[in-house]
Structure 1
Amino acid sequence: MIDRRSFLRGAGGAALAAPLLGSAACGASSTKADLAAGGAKAAAAGALPVSFVNESGYAAGAVRLYIVGTDLASGKQARVRPDGTLAPVKLSDNTDGGYTDYSIPLSEAGGLTLPFMSGRIYIALEDKLRFKVVEDGNGNPALQYPAGWVESDPNFSVLHDTVEFTHDESGMYCNTSMVDQFSVPLAIALSGERRQSTGRLQPGGRAQVFDTIRADPDFSPLVVGDRRIIAPGHGIDSGRFSADYYAPYIDRVWSRYGGRDLIVTTNQGTFTGRVNGSGQLAFDGGVAPISKPSTRDVFFCDGALHAPNDGLNGPVAAILGAALNRSTLLNTADHPVTDPAAFYNADITNRYAEVFHEVAEDGKAYGFAFDDVSGFASYIQDHAPSSFEVTLTPF
C-alpha cells in the first residue's frame, strides 16, 4: 500500500527530491480531442496513457508540463521525455541559465505515457519552471523542486501547480494537492477497473477560495496577489502566519484529555489515550506516546504528529492530526469523526483546508497531509489502470 502521507510530506521546501509520498489571461483553449491527438503509439512496457485537457482560459502555447520523480526500477531521480521514456537527471542538464529545461509543451503532449515511477506532474502557465540538478549527500544527481511558497525561489512568480502520483506494477495512485500551496485549479480522472475523478472545483471556485482566505485576518497574509495561496505551515516558516495560532486549542485539548479518555479506532483495533503527568498523550496497546504538538506540527502533520508507516503508531498519529486540523477533539472523544458537518466548526481551525472542501464538487481536497483520514482527500487509485487524464479547469 502506498504511504500517501509520506508522499505528500516528502517534497516540502526547496529540498532535494526523494521518492514522493498546491488573473487569468484569456486565450483559445484546446479541446479534449485536440490534446488527445497523437493516438496510440508504441509505448514502453507498463506505460500508462496520460492526456491533458485545457479548460483554463490560457492558450495552449502558454502551458508547459514537467513530469519528474523517481524511477522505481533504479531508485534514481528521473524525468519523463515527450515520448514517455524516463531519463535520469544529470548535472549537465543545467543548460538553461543554470537550470534544466525539462518542459513538455502542451501542444506536444498528445500520446504521452507515464512509465513506472513515483513523482509529480507540474503544470506551469506563461513561464518556465526552473528545476536545478545538484548533488545530494551521497554525490548522486538530485533535483531541486520549485518551492512556490519561498519568495527567494526562482519559481515564486510563476503560476503553477501539481498532480502527484505513483504508478507501479500494482496500479496507479494519484491525487491533486494543496498541501504546500494553491495556484492552478486541477482535476484528475482515472479509468481502468472503473471511471473515477476528483479535484474539480465548483464554478468560480478558485475566486471563492482567494476571496475567503483574503477575508480572514489570520489567513489573509498567505495570499500572494492572484498568483497563489501559501499553505499555513509554510506561512509560519516565512513569517506570514502565527506560529502560535493553534496553541489555545491544543491547550484546551490537552487539558480535556488529562481528565478523560480519548478513543482512537484504526484497522488494528481501538486504543485509549490520556494525557499523563509528563504532558504526553499516552495510549494503551503499545502505541508510542504523543508529545504536545506545536501549531507547525499540526499544519505539517509532522514533528510530534509524525506518522510512521508501521500500521500502529502511524494511523493513531494521523487520526489525531486530522482531528486537530478539523478541530473535532473538543466535541467528541471518539475518533476518527466521519461526518464532515462536524469539521471546522471551532473558532480555531484550519480555514485554509476548509475552503477547498467547501468549493470542491465532490467535497474532497488535500488541504493537509492527513486529509485522507476518513476518505476526504482528492485521491483516487486503480489496480488495472488504462488511462489517466489531467484537466486544467476554469479559473
Structure 2
Amino acid sequence: MTARHQRGLSRRKLLAALGGAAVAVPAVAALAPHALAGPAAGDDAAEPAAGGLPLTIVNASGSFDNASVHLYIVGNQDGRQVRVTPDGTLAPVALADNGADGFTDYAISLSGSGETRLSLPYMSGRVYVALGRKLKFRAVTDGNGDAALQYPAGWVASDPNYAVLHDCCEFTYNSAGMFCNTTMVDMFSVPLGIRLTGAKDQTTGTLRDGGRAAAFTAVRQVEEFAPLVVDDTRVLAPGHGLDAGLFPADYFAPYIDEVWSTYTGRDLTVATDAGTFTGRVRGGRLTFDGPAQVSFAKPSTRDVLFCDGGLAAPNDGTTGPVAAVLGAGFNRSTLLGASAQPTTDASAFYRTALTNHYAKAMHAATEDGRAYGFAFDDVADLASYVQDTAPTGIRLTLTPF
C-alpha cells in the first residue's frame, strides 16, 4: 500500500486558499493529501451520492447543550462551491445567501436532545462546529467570477469569527469511499473524534481525559510557544503565530544550520515509494541523487512550519515525497538523530529542546497518539486520518472539554 505521505496533492499548498479570504479554488483545498486518493472531479466522483452516507453528530462536550452547537458542512462538488442543507441535500453557494449583516446563515441545528442524524452527499470539504455563537461565512465572487465562501480563520485577530469557539474536521466522500481526518494544522480549539464504519470500524482524533487542558498547558510552558495560546479559546499553530508576530521567525534557525552543516560531510538518505534518494549539501543546496535528482535551498523557520517555500512539495512523485520527509524530520527534530529517513519510531520524535512543541502537545493529547499538527504529519502514518472504501457511516463526536 502506498505510504500516505507519498500520495496525492500537497495539503499545505491547498490550505493556502482558505486563510480567511475567498476560496478561489474548490474547497477540496481543505483536505489532506491522502484524502484526495479517490476519483478526480469529472469522473464518477462528481455523480450524486445514492442515499448519501449516514452522518451522526454526538454532543458529548459536557460544556454546551445541543441548542448551543451550530454545524456547517461546506466544500465543493465537481468544482462548485456547495453546502449541505439540514435535510442532507446539496445547495450551491450563492451571493444572494448573504443576509442584511453581509453573511450567510448556513448553520444546521442539532436535535433538541440526543444524537443528530444527517445524510452526507458526495463532496469534499469540512464539517465545522461552532459553540455558543454562530460562524460568519460570507459569500463572495472568486477570481473566476463564481460564488465562493470566505472561510473562518481563527488565527487572524481581525477575522469576524475570531471570538467564536469553533473547529472542524475534513473529508472527501466519493465513489472511492470516505477519507477524513481531524486537524490541528491551523489551530486547536474544540476536541473532536471521528468514528468511521464500513469494511472496518475505525476511530481517530479522540482526546484522552483532560487532553485539551493538557495541550494548552504544554504549549504555555514553552516560552516561544506560550503566546500561541489565546485565552481558553484556542491554540494557534506556530506558522500562523509567526505570521502574526507571535512566534520567533528564526526559531528553527540553529537546527536548520546544524542539519546543513552535518550533511555537508555525510550522506542523508530518504526512502520513498519511488526509491531511495541519497543527498548531501553541495553549493548551499541539499541535493539528492537517486530515481531523480532533487535539491532544496536552506529553508527558513516559516518553510519548516508550513512545509512550504524551501520545502515545497510538488505532486511529481520525486521532489514531493522527499520534501514531505524532510518537513516531518525538521518539525519532529529527527534529522540529526538518524541519517536514514523517515524516522518511523514515534518515541524518537520531539526529543530535543528545539522542536515543534505545538505538534508534540497535540499528539500527546490524543488517545491513539495521532494528530495533524503540521502539514505532513502523515509521514510514518501518525496523522489523525482514517479511510474506508466501503463506508456505512461516520460519527463525529464533540468530546469532553
Task: State the TM-score, normalized to the length of structure 2.
Answer: 0.90
Question: SS of 2:296's equivalent?
Answer: coil
Give distance in 2, aligned partners of 1:287 and 1:97: 54
Which residue number in structure 2 is paired with residue 372 of structure 1? 378
Which residue number in structure 2 is paired with residue 5 of structure 1? 11
Q: Is the 8 A contact 1:8 1:369 kept in 2?
A: no
Decide which moves more: 109-118 or 362-371: 109-118
Which residue number in structure 1 is paired with residue 190 of structure 2? 184
Give distance in 2, aligned partners of 1:79 and 1:269: 41
Which residue number in structure 1 is paired with residue 37 of structure 2? none
One-letter amino acid of the structure 2 residue matched with residue 276 of structure 1: R
Q: Is the 8 A contact 1:307 1:314 kept in 2?
A: yes
* 1:197 counterpart (203, 210, 222): 203
Which residue number in structure 2 is paired with residue 36 of structure 1? none
One-letter amino acid of the structure 1 residue matched with residue 285 of structure 2: Q
Decide which moves more: 133-142 or 285-294: 285-294
Give distance in 1, aligned partners of 2:98 and 2:11: 31
* 1:99 counterpart (74, 96, 103): 103
Which residue number in structure 2 is paired with residue 282 of structure 1? 287
Which residue number in structure 2 is paired with residue 29 of structure 1? none
Which residue number in structure 1 is paired with residue 77 of structure 2? 71
Shift of residue 310, structure 1, vs aligned partner: 2.0
Which residue number in structure 2 is paired with residue 45 of structure 1? 50
Which residue number in structure 2 is paired with residue 302 of structure 1? 308
Identity of matched residues, %: 59
Which residue number in structure 2 is paired with residue 55 of structure 1? 60
Which residue number in structure 1 is paired with residue 365 of structure 2? 359
1:241 aligns with 2:247: yes
Structure 2: unaligned runs, 5 residues or longer: 1-6, 31-47
1:330 aligns with 2:353: no
Which residue number in structure 2 is paired with residue 212 of structure 1? 218
Which residue number in structure 1 is paired with residue 122 of structure 2? 116
Which residue number in structure 2 is paired with residue 153 of structure 1? 159
Q: CA 1:7/1:197 → structure 2, altered by over 3 Å: closer, same or farther?
A: farther
Deviations 1:276-328 (A, max 9, x none): 11x11111132421111111111111111111222211111000000000000
Q: CA 1:388/1:96 → structure 2, altered by over 3 Å: closer, same or farther?
A: farther
Decide which moves more: 139-148 or 104-113: 104-113
Deviations 1:105-129 (A, max 9, x none): 1128833111111100000000010
Q: CA 1:11/1:197 → structure 2, altered by over 3 Å: closer, same or farther?
A: farther
Q: Is the 8 A contact 1:308 1:314 kept in 2?
A: yes
Give distance in 2, aligned partners of 1:181 and 1:121: 15
Q: Is the 8 A contact 1:322 1:371 kept in 2?
A: yes
Runs of 4 or more, structure 1, over 6 Å off, are none
One-letter amino acid of the structure 2 residue matched with residue 340 of structure 1: A
Give distance in 2, aligned partners of 1:170 and 1:309: 20
Shift of residue 214, structure 1, vs aligned partner: 1.2
Which residue number in structure 2 is paired with residue 250 of structure 1? 256
Question: SS of 1:254's equivalent?
Answer: helix
Deviations 1:209-246 (A, max 9, x none): 11111111110000100000111000011111011000
Which residue number in structure 2 is paired with residue 167 of structure 1? 173
Q: Is the 8 A contact 2:10 2:314 kept in 1?
A: no
Give distance in 2, aligned partners of 1:209 and 1:6: 23
Q: CA 1:318/1:168 → structure 2, altered by over 3 Å: closer, same or farther?
A: same
* 1:87 counterpart (88, 91, 104): 91
How many aligned residue pairs are there?
372
Shift of residue 7, structure 1, vs aligned partner: 8.0
Q: Is the 8 A contact 2:194 2:395 kept in 1?
A: yes
Give distance in 1, aligned partners of 2:100 and 2:213: 34
One-letter amino acid of the structure 2 residue matched with residue 210 of structure 1: F
CA-based RMSD of the aligned residues comes to 1.7
Shift of residue 356, structure 1, vs aligned partner: 1.2
Q: Which has the higher contact order (CA 8 A, sep 6+)?
A: 2
Give distance in 2, aligned partners of 1:211 and 1:8: 31
Shift of residue 394, structure 1, vs aligned partner: 0.2
Structure 1: unaligned runs, 5 residues or longer: 23-42
1:340 aligns with 2:355: no
Give distance in 2, aligned partners of 1:287 and 1:386: 44
Question: SS of 2:57's equivalent?
Answer: strand
